[in-house]
Amino acid sequence: KAGVTQTPRYLIKTRGQQVTLSCSPISGHRSVSWYQQTPGQGLQFLFEYFSETQRNKGNFPGRFSGRQFSNSRSEMNVSTLELGDSALYLCASSLTAGGWEAFFGQGTRLTVV
């Protein structure tokens, strides 16, 4: 079966612009989480969605937002991009809420110039 699909794979944006990343979870999975990975900070939790509701958000500014659709697909948006937002953004899907195994996509590499 198909894994977690993230699009696009690579993005180059200019400071001040906004960007939207997409994540399609494994078929049947209803929980989607987003993470930011940088060389300095490692992997950090952004937010988690289940049944179209954001259950929690990590320690990131309000410029980072997301949503989940009724088909469990999720998008995350970053507004007013800063150089420090350059990172690998990873999406993970789980069957449902409550401590199930997480499966990750290949990520979107965002470069802000």
- Nearest residue to 104 (alpha-carbon basis) of 45, 52, 61: 45
Q: Is 97 in the site for other proteins (CB under 8 A)?
A: yes
Options 17, 43, 63, 69; binder of other proteins; rule CB under 8 A:
43
Q: Is 13 in the site for other proteins (CB under 8 A)?
A: no
Closer CB to other proteins, residue 17 or residue 39? 39
Options 21, 87, 90, 112; binder of other proteins; rule CB under 8 A:
90
Q: Is 1 in the site for other proteins (CB under 8 A)?
A: no
Q: Is 67 in the site for other proteins (CB under 8 A)?
A: no
Q: Are 74 and 23 in contact (CB under 8 A)?
A: yes
Tally of CA atoms within 13 A in the half-sphere of 79 that contains its CB: 5
Options 50, 68, 110, 112; binder of other proteins; rule CB under 8 A:
50
How far is 73 from 25, CA to CA, in rounded Å? 6
Q: What is the SS3 assignment for 78?
A: strand
